[in-house]
Amino acid sequence: MRPFSGNAARCPSGMCSCRSGSPARCSWTGATTMFPWPPLRDASLPALTAAAGPLQRPGVPSACCSVTPCPAHPPSSYLAPSGQRSSRCFLRRLPILRHWLLSSISNYCSDKKATAVNWIDGRGKSVVCEATIKGRVVQSVLKTTVEKLVELNIIKNLAGSAVAGALGGFNAHASNIVTALFIATGQDPAQNVESSQCITMLEAVNEGKDLHISVTMPSIEVGTIGGGTSLTSQAACLNLLGVKGPNHGSPGANARLLATIVAGSVLAGELSLLAALAAGQLVKSHMKYNRSSKDVANAAS
C-alpha cells in the first residue's frame, strides 16, 4: 500500500531523513516496514484502503521506518526483532492484515547483498577516507610515479569495473582488507558483501607533483558489542584498537571509530596493490615470497 501523503513529519526513529510520504527506507538503519506511519488506531480496512490507496503485494516496502536501534550494534542485529514487534503491533490493531503479511522483513534492507540502494542511501556507517602522498614518497617507497598510479586507477578500478558491470566494486581489493578486519574484530564476515562496496579515486595534485587518494565506503556494518566481539581473541583486537565495548560518554562512538579504521586500512591496501601493479612487482613478490621451492606433493607423501 502507498504511504499517507501530505505528512512531512520526520521519521519517528529520529535517525534518518526519510519522511512518511516517501519510500520506506531508513538511511541510518536500512529498516523498512510494510505499513504506513503513524500507527493506525481505530481504522478499518475500507478506511485504510480509501486513505492509502489499493493494497500492493505484501513485502513491498512503502512507509517510513519506525526502528530505533542501538548505535553500537550492526543494524541487522535489530531489524528482525524490531520488525517482528512492529508486525505484532499492526496485527493487533488490524487483524485483517494477517492475510497480507508474509514476513516482517521485506529484503529491501539489502543485508549481505551488493545493491544500489546501499550505495545510494548508505547502510551501517558511511565513511570517506583520503590522504595526500608526496611525489618523492611515491617514487622512493612505492617505486612508481604519480602519473602511472592515476592512469592505472582509471583503467583498472573505474573503466575495468564499469565494463564488468560492477555494483559498488570500483576498487582494487577492498574485500581482502574488510574480510580480514571483520574476522579479527568479531564482525559478521558475511556482511563483507555490502561493507566492501568502495570506490577508489586517485588524482594528481599540487601541479601534478603529489598524489591524492580517497576511498568512499557507504555501507560499512560494524559493531563493538555482542556477537563475535565477545570472543577472547576478537575482544583483544578491539581492545588493541581502543574500541572494545560501548562508549558510555558518546554512544556509538566506538563503532564509528572502528568503521573509520576499516576505511583507513582499505585505503592503505588500495595504495599498496596499485603501486605493486604499476611497478610490475606483484607477480614477482608472489613468486619470491608466496611460493614454495619444494615439491609440496612429494613432501606430503
Catalytic positions: 112, 188, 286
The cell for 242 is: 581502543
> 80 CB contacts (<8 Å, ≥6 apart)?
104, 105
Residues whose CB is less than 8 angstroms from the CB of residue 28 and which lie 6 or more positions away in sequence, other chains included: 13, 15, 16, 75, 122
Enumerate the β-bridge partners of residue 215. 129, 200
Cβ(110)–Cβ(123) below 8 Å: yes
- Mention every residue, 6+ apart, whose C-beta is less than 8 A from residue 15: 26, 28, 29, 68, 69
Distance of alpha carbon 54 from alpha carbon 57, whole angstroms: 10
